[in-house]
Each structure stands twice: as C-alpha cells, then as structure tokens.
Structure 1
Amino acid sequence: MIIRLSKAALVSAMALLASLVAINNITDYATNFAFIRHVFMMDTTLTGNGILYRSLDQTWVHHAGYIAIIVMQTLTAVVCWIGGAKLFRTRHAGEAAFGSARAWAVAGLTLGFLTWQVSFMTIGGEWFGMWMSRQWNGLESAFRFFVTFLLVLIYLVMPSDASDPAVKGRASAQGADLEERTRCDL
C-alpha cells in the first residue's frame, strides 16, 4: 500500500508543478512571453547561423505559441490531478481498479513529458536554435522538467505490490527456481 500511496503522491507532485508553472505563465504573462518572443525571433542566436530562415517575427504567432504552451501545461496539471486523486482513492482496491486509475496519471505524465520535450527541447531547442542563445536558453530547465515527468512515469507503471500479477508471476518463478536449485543441492 505504501508504494501505491507513493505513486499517488508523486503524480500529485507533478500536478502541482505543472499547476504552478501554468499559473505563473498566466499571472506573469509578460515575463515568459519575452522568452518565447526571443526564441521565435532567433535574435539572440549565433550571428549568421544557417537556420535563421526559421525565425518568426509576427507577434500573433508568438502569442499563439505561448498560449499553446500554457494550454498544454494546464492540461498536464488537470490530468495529473485527476490521476493522482484516482490513484489515492484506489490505493486499497484490487489491481484492476488501481490499473484503471493509473491510466489518467499515465496520460497526464505523458502529456507533461511531451509539453516540455517537444515544445522546448525539440521545437525551441532544435528548430529555433535556442541552444545557440546565451540569454534565452531554456534547455536545462526543460530537460529537468521532462526527465522528472519521465522518471515518475516509469515508476508509476512499475508493478505496485505482490498482488500485481506481474510481480506475483516473477515471485512464483523465482521461488520455483530457488526450490529446484535447493533440491539439486541436497
């Protein structure tokens, strides 16, 4: 039961993180909008680099991109909160009920991974060359976020306890193997 409680707590912690990020981006829109604007404009990347043709100078595109990121962060938070609550409510239930509850958490954590990996690492970092900017480079932060989402996701999908069929099957096989080796040694 402690493992199930731990999983519910970690999913809820990720929900809290995504919530705070989304709230900060909504309530302090201008600060991070400046970040998005500079990434899209590529105005602080290496001078004369070969990918400057990708820059986008239209303000409406900057707002649309930023709003899309905020929506993804908000959805991540909401789905993770639902997943964490469902995991908590089913912590004493059978594996089928806990497994069903886990689906929401898996969806939320996957969405969180995709939000930071795709938005920041792939699009910002590679498409817009954010890695070339000393001032407007969010790759380290994005890496921290998406790896944390991924680690919690991996932990979440691991079998929870001995009542889990995957764990029970391994335990039975290991016990039979140990019994066989013990008989051979006698």
Structure 2
Amino acid sequence: MGAIVVLNNVTAPGANLAFVEHIMTMDTTNMDEGTQWRAIRSPILHRIAFVSILVLEVAVTVLSLVGTYFLVANLGAPADAWEAAKLFGYLGFMAALVVWFLVIQVVGAEWFVSWQSEGWNAIRDSTRINLITLAGVILLRLA
C-alpha cells in the first residue's frame, strides 16, 4: 500500500499538497481564536511538510519491501533466523504509524484541528490505515 501512496504523491501531488495546505492554514476549521494562532500560511512550509511526509512514506515502502524480502527468504528457516527476519517488517509498520498516527492524526487532526473540517479531514482514512497496520504488527508477531 505504501508504494501506491508514494506513486500517487509523486505522479499527482496536487491533491495531497492541497490537503496539506488546507490542514496547515486551518482555513476549513471553525476559525476559533484559541487555535488559529497555530495556522501556518507559508506555501514554502506547506511544500516542506508535503515533501517530508513523502520521504516518510518512501521509508515505509522501502522498509516494508525489505521486510517482505527477508520474510520470504527465511520461510522454513530455524526459529531464531525467522524472528530476526521480522525486524524490517516491524520497522515498516512503525514507520507507517509515525506517518498515519503521529503526523496525520496527532499533528494534522489535533494540532491543526482538521477534525473540525468537513472536506479536509483524514481521521477516517488514517484510522483505517492505523488499524490495518496494527493488525499487521499482531500477525507478524504471531507468525
């Protein structure tokens, strides 16, 4: 899934860049004075944030692909080799949680109060991704 997200952000960055811009400017929230001081209106900082998220998504993809390679390469291996092969899988899952929980839900939804926005709100999508990620962590641990 990470590879598709990266592909979309590289080949059609407009949609998610606009998402980052609206989240950071807080222009679709209720404009409460108590939170508006957090808004960032600099297009340069919007692009830096977008590229930073893209770099994290690339890390998720690379770690997950390397993890998949090591797991496939160690199918049927002794238990200690199999457990060691899980490392990059765990790192890929943790990187995914950094992106979709820490960045999207904590920073985007809570700090920039995007949960108030009807059109620029990623809580549902990021929650879905986080639940799938946590299920993957559990399944990898049980494997």
TM-score normalised to structure 2 length = 0.97
**In structure 1, what is the Cα distance between the partners aligned to 2:47 and 2:55?**
12
- Name the residue aligned to 1:106: 90
What's the offset of the Cα at 1:157? Answer: 1.0
Aligned partner of 2:38: which letter?
A: R
What's the offset of the Cα at 1:48? Answer: 2.7
Evaluate the alpha carbon distance shift between residue 154 and residue 27 of structure 1 in structure 2; reply closer, same or farther with a 3 A threshold. Answer: same
**In structure 1, what is the Cα distance between the partners aligned to 2:52 and 2:75?**
34
1:82 aligns with 2:63: no
Please give the secondary structure, in 2, of the residue aligned with 1:33: helix
Aligned partner of 1:41: which letter?
A: T
Please give the secondary structure, in 2, of the residue aligned with 1:50: helix
- Name the residue aligned to 2:44: 60
Q: Which 5+ residue runs of structure 1 have no aligned equivalent?
A: 1-16, 161-186
Equivalent residue for 2:18, pick from 34, 48, 60: 34
TM-score normalised to structure 1 length = 0.75
Tell whether the 8 Å contact from 1:83 to 1:103 is kept in structure 2 after alignment: yes
**In structure 2, what is the Cα distance between the partners aligned to 1:108 and 1:123?**
20
Tell whether the 8 Å contact from 1:109 to 1:153 is kept in structure 2 after alignment: yes
Q: Over aligned residues, Cα RMSD in angstroms?
A: 0.9
Please give the secondary structure, in 2, of the residue aligned with 1:73: helix
Q: Deviations over 1:39-96 (max 9, x none)?
A: 0000000133521100000011100111111111111010000001110110110011
**In structure 1, what is the Cα distance between the partners aligned to 2:104 and 2:85?**
29
**In structure 2, what is the Cα distance between the partners aligned to 1:129 and 1:48?**
10
Please give the secondary structure, in 2, of the residue aligned with 1:57: coil
Bigger CA radius of gyration: 1
